[in-house]
Chain A
Amino acid sequence: MSSIFADHILSWMIATPFLGIATLAFVQNQEWIRRVALVSTLINVGLSLLLWAGFDFTNQGMQFVERREWMPTFNIQYAVGVDGISILLVLLTALLCPLCVLCSWTAITTRVRAFMMLILLVEGAMIVVFTALDLFLFFMLWEITMIPMYFMIILWGGPDRIAAGIKFVLYSLTGSLLLLVGILGLYLEGGRTFDIVALTNHTYPSDVQFWIFLAFFLAFAIKIPMLPFHTWLPDAHAEAPTAGSVLLAGVLLKMGGYGFLRFCLPMFPEASAQFAPFILWLSIAAIIYGGYMALAQSDLKKLIAYSSISHMGFVTLGIFVFNRQGIQGAILQMFNHGITTGALFLAVGQLYDRTHSRWISDYGGLHKTMPRFATLFCLFSVASFGLPGTCNFIGEFLVLIGTSFKSFVMVLLAMGGIVLAAAYMLWMLQRVALGEPNTKAASLLPDLTRRELATVIPLAILVFWIGLYPGPLMEMMDASVTQLLEQTKGIQSTVIALNASWP
């Protein structure tokens, strides 16, 4: 491995999807278009594994850093790097994209090239978002992720795609404008630089913190999404094609959580502490509310979408309890949610490819006709509500332990949300996989093909691996979380007056 390669591994990871797009422009044959897309995403998986192998667990700061002047007038750089928080999300992005290509193999028949290009565009943009060390770069690619998603929804989506697309864009743009305002505020306050590391080390006065935090918070809250800003998500998830749903749920939502960790906590610790009680209760509300919403759904994809809101409630809960267990749990929960919810969307996509129906009532008795599918679907469902031994449990458990340092009432309420999760998942499982087929079509469905198995098996392995041996992932983020806690030390001493103050 030459040093040029080793020193620029992140740039290569960013460049690969774009090179893939460029190659796709010259490929005519549909089969080859798919293959090229798959190969370029797989290359990124390989690169991400190299990144993991070369990652120094003990280093707190940014690694694999690359800096180039881009727009010197405004102090804008091309600067990328990863730390323990972002590397997991980079890995997740790299992992999910080949699965997205695989699941669209036969599902997408029209404008294949455009679709594959969009997947690659999302991948490239997401990797930049998670690795950017320059706020301007971050913002630009943050915006760019929205565009391919929008087109995926409105061009290949379900029957209600247009409305869903509009809603998605309106919400995202509102968030983006707030983010832009926040970024500009930060630029002006933080010494006219876009360098994230420098901005993080800068200390901001309280009132400035308050307003910039608010702008950032709203932008990320819409993205993640938190309770009152969530209504774009069920529509967008439900109407998007399978690959779109997987990317949305698996990767795009994590931009919000990543934003909280990268910007809100270290840059505005005081404002974070100020807002924390509010955010914590909102998270608890989201966990329970999302559970109730999912219980009411008769549409598979909407059910999973609402369950995402509940899971993301755990992420925000973990982040804003400001302790190691909470934050590690939140990061792990983001990763795990990407795996399980991504897998659930893949599974539902496999059903949708067969019947073109998302309604729970159109299925039933799949254990008989599709035993492999039923097994995997069952696995991902129980993993999704956090069955111990599967990956989600670790994240949720850590978040709950972290929360227990703040308030036991919240822990109990959040656990109530887990019961709701068990209820909607098992009820859904009962109606989809068990019993007798409800329709003639459901009794004739063929089981998973090899390609479809290859799409979900890697995720199934990860579910158990993380569930039983989370050590490596925890170790990876440990040092960076330590640093993050150092940066937020101010709020540890700030007494956070919670309603429930019993120990």
Chain B
Amino acid sequence: MTDEVMLMSGYVLIPLLPLMAFLTLALGGRWLRGKSHKIAIPAIGLSFGLSIGAFIEVVRNGAISIPLYRFIQSGSLIVDLGLYIDQLTVLLLILVTGVSSIVHVYSSRYMIGDPRYNRFFALIALFTFSMIMLVMSNNLLLLFIFWEVMGICSYLLISHWAERKSACQAATKAFLVNAVADVGLGFGVILTFATFGTLDIQQILAQAESMSGQTINLLGWAGIDWPVHTITLITLFLFMGALGKSAQIPFHVWLPFAMEAPTPVSALIHAATMVNAGPFLLVRLSPLVVLSPVTMTVIMIIGATTALFAAVVSLTQSDIKKILAYSTISQIGFMIMMCGIGAFVAAIFHLMAHGFLKAFLFLSTGNALQSVQAHGHPQSDVDHGPTSRPAWSLYIGALILACIPPFVIFSGPYEYLWTVHHFASAKFVFWVIGLATVFFTAMYLFRGITLLFQGGPSVRHSESGTSLVVQPHLFSPSHLLGLFIGGVMLVSFLMVLWGWFVQFLAPALGQPVPLLDEPTPPGGISLWILLPLVVAFGGWGLAYYLHIKSRPSFLAQSEWGKTLYVLFLNKLYFDEIYEVYVVQPTLRFSTWLWKTVDVGGIDHFITGIARVSVKLACWLWQVVDVRGLDRGVVGLGRQTVRFAHWLWQTVDVKGIDRKVAGIGGQTVNLARWLWQVIDIRGIEKNVERLGREADATGHLLQRIEPRTLQHHLLVMIFWLVAAIGLFYWLVR
């Protein structure tokens, strides 16, 4: 092994360290308890350091690939696991390990005194491991595995406070919604294998171009010709998995409920890292995805819809964590939309920025919540919030968050992308959706933070949308000026960063949009960038205006406004619709199926056969045996007696007796004696007694439980004897 290879395999430590931390805490957590973070923090920190090392390495020498071991070999299915570190991976690595280290440090204070302190740290270490593996995996199967392991980590962490029923339900819900979506991902993986014959991502991407013409006839079984591009099918199914993890419509319902998790978990998993798996997957497979215009359009539409929808919903929520959750959904919708128009670099840029910022917002919120909770208030519907310094950090974070997506997306190089797939009117629609999302984002962030920190006693009524009160004194002109200068500096910084970013990420992505004839080199900046900024400030201003006026807003005064408000307050009733039309019917159907079909149908039928055979046996015994044969025998006895009687009367007495008169008297006497003693008393009584006894035995048999041991034994022995007899007979 050369030195270089040794050095390379050092990067295996990036996932290995969190894994070791997890194993230590999982196996020895009982003894560590309060000291658990002392194991986890160094491990994740080191992992972060190594990620930076990997970053430098990749900047210098390009992608690194580290083979691990052969996972499965079965005929044509060969799965070699390995790590693949390219430009995309290192960025994600820095995000994941960076946010994870911060969250670890933060949690070591935040979770103090928690009875399951060690479990918490073990699980976030495991989560970090699986997310690292997800971004490093060279293989779709490996990606799928850690995709699911992340899901189970999320499940276990959402149910961290398992005493709360709502937390348990949220956990189950999160996993099951994802499970449905992951059918798509899993099926996509299998379809990919069926198409490409390999699961290695780089090999798939290399072959992608050559497969672009292949079609599948979807309705072939019905005799209808409906060819669909294989790649369209694959990417749509893979995208379905991305929808679940990244909480996009229609699978977004789990994320707001996932806020039942401790706040550091919300920051790490449900804002910064795991939910980014969807855009990551799309960018990772971008050379494949761009080959299908259908998929690109679907991605774009779903992303845009989610972005706008979640932004508006976020505006109506009263729980700060739910506001942030919908904000996350909306922002990821934005990323997905960018992927849909081919702006993969922009998506990743936004992903990175959003990841750090959202984690920051959540952690600040956690601080605020903790100080509020110290005053005895629940997490939601915060009132009497402390007016404190964290507020300013939140405001700045919010501003950046509101401006980044538009900044990236409206900057010059990607302007041409608005003419999506030669569909000119789309340009206008996405401009509107993009700007509207920016507007609402600024609005809800302002509102949420204001609610948290400056909410007066009347904030509780904010749910009815009638009165929103805020103390306006915080916004002195100097503050606003500071904010403005800070904003401008940040934007300039981001512009410089962006220029570098586009160059850096290019090798990992391949050709972004093959549909374009002459792609302009990205990196330039146009004045269009100011538009979203203006819109963002506009949203901020409107929120401020609405809050500062302690009178009902114009929306609340009109009927349709109220209807709309209620509609969005209830998130368009997605949860209720799923509950009524999916969950309940499934449960009812399963109960019905069990009671009616399984127990009432199949089981009843088969026990019915048994019952019928028992009845047949009873009937055989009663009718044929007792009534038929037995009576026959008894009757024969009677007939014999009658015949004897007749013989005696007719032949004996009338005929012979008279003829043989001499000995007649004696004979008659003898015959009478014979008849009386032997015939009637003897035979007839015997026969009748036999009948009665048979009856009695029958009753006795009936009284014996047919379930006794002897009975079973008899049955079994009978069968065995029969079987062996049959066997011998046949073999002979």
Contacts and interface: CB of A to CB of B under 8 A. Distances in A.
11 contacts: A166-B712, A169-B712, A325-B75, A382-B152, A388-B145, A398-B77, A408-B190, A408-B194, A422-B175, A434-B171, A478-B73
A408 B187 CA distance: 9
B701 interface: no
Interface in A440-461: none
A445 to B, nearest CB: 16
A436 B165 contact: yes
A498 B273 CA distance: 43
A296 B727 contact: no
Interface of B: 69-75, 77, 141, 144-149, 152, 155-156, 159, 162-163, 165, 168-169, 171-172, 175-176, 179-180, 183, 186-187, 190-191, 193-194, 216-218, 220-221, 586-587, 589-591, 593-595, 598, 602-603, 606-607, 610, 707, 709, 712, 715-716, 719-720, 723, 726-727, 730-731
Contacts of A188: 730
A176 B723 contact: yes
A430 interface: yes
A470 interface: yes
The main secondary structure of chain B at its interface with chain A is: helix
Given A404-B194, A502-B216, A388 B144 contact: yes
A391 B531 CA distance: 54
A415 B589 CA distance: 19
A169 B144 CA distance: 44
A368 B161 CA distance: 11
A358 B657 CA distance: 86
A154 B715 CA distance: 15
A160 to B, nearest CB: 11
Contacts of B156: 378
A373 interface: no
With most chain A CB atoms within 10 A of its CB, the pick from B144, B152, B191 is B152
Contacts of A162: 707
Interface stretch (A80-88, A113-121, A287-295, A486-494): A287-295
Nearest to B724: A180
A39 interface: no
A434 B260 CA distance: 14
Contacts of B74: 324-325, 328-329, 398, 401, 474, 478
A198 interface: no
Nearest to B720: A143
A180 B726 contact: yes
Contacts of B159: 430, 434
A426 interface: yes
Contacts of B146: 388-389
Contacts of A394: 72
Nearest to A228: B602
Given A162-B707, A293-B598, A471 B152 contact: no
Contacts of A401: 74, 77, 190, 193
A296 B193 contact: no
A27 interface: no
Interface in A303-325: 323-325
Contact of A435 (B72, B163, B190): B163
Contact of B69 (A393, A418, A469): A469
Interface string A409-420: 101100110110
A289 B593 contact: yes
A325 B77 contact: yes
Given A387-B149, A408-B191, A411-B190, A367 B162 contact: yes
Contact of B176 (A171, A367, A422): A422
B610 to A, nearest CB: 6
B187 A411 contact: yes
Contacts of B603: 231
A177 interface: yes
A32 interface: no
A282 to B, nearest CB: 13
> Across chains A and B, which 4 residue pairs bring their CB atoms closest together, nearest first?
A388-B145, A324-B75, A296-B594, A295-B590
Contacts of B149: 387-389
A415 B715 CA distance: 43
Given A292-B590, A404-B190, A501-B220, A231 B727 contact: no
A231 B586 contact: no
A293 B720 contact: no
Contacts of B171: 430, 434
Contacts of B163: 365, 368, 435-436
Given A154-B712, A401-B77, A184 B175 contact: no
A231 to B, nearest CB: 4
Contacts of B593: 289, 292-293, 296
Contacts of B610: 170
B217 A502 contact: yes
With most chain A CB atoms within 10 A of its CB, the pick from B141, B146, B172, B707 is B172
B179 A419 contact: yes
Nearest to A396: B186
A148 interface: no
B175 A393 contact: no
A256 interface: no
Nearest to A161: B707
Interface string A471-503: 100110010000000000000000000011111
A166 B707 contact: yes
A20 B209 CA distance: 65
A471 B69 CA distance: 10
A328 to B, nearest CB: 5
B592 to A, nearest CB: 8
A229 B731 CA distance: 30
A165 interface: yes
Contacts of B187: 408, 411-412, 415
Contacts of B179: 418-419, 422-423
B591 A296 contact: yes
A401 B716 CA distance: 44
A400 interface: yes
A173 interface: yes
Contacts of A165: 712
A295 B586 contact: yes
A276 to B, nearest CB: 17
A465 interface: no
Interface string A425-437: 0110110011110
A150 interface: yes
A278 interface: no
A398 B76 CA distance: 11
A368 B119 CA distance: 12
Given A387-B152, A415-B186, A503 B726 contact: no
A478 B730 CA distance: 39
A470 to B, nearest CB: 6
A382 B144 CA distance: 16
Contacts of A60: none
Contacts of B586: 292, 295, 423
Contacts of B145: 388-389, 393
Contacts of B716: 147, 150, 169, 173
Given A163-B707, A436-B165, 15 more contacts: A171-B606, A292-B590, A293-B598, A324-B75, A365-B163, A388-B147, A404-B194, A415-B186, A418-B179, A419-B180, A435-B162, A435-B163, A470-B71, A478-B74, A501-B221
Nearest to B587: A295
A502 B220 contact: yes
A415 B72 contact: no
A293 B156 CA distance: 26
Given A387-B149, A388-B149, A502-B218, A430 B594 contact: no
Nearest to A184: B730
Contact of B709 (A154, A177, A400): A154
Contacts of A382: 152
A166 B727 CA distance: 24
A365 B162 CA distance: 8
Contacts of A400: 186, 190
Contacts of B175: 422, 426
Contact of A430 (B168, B183, B190): B168
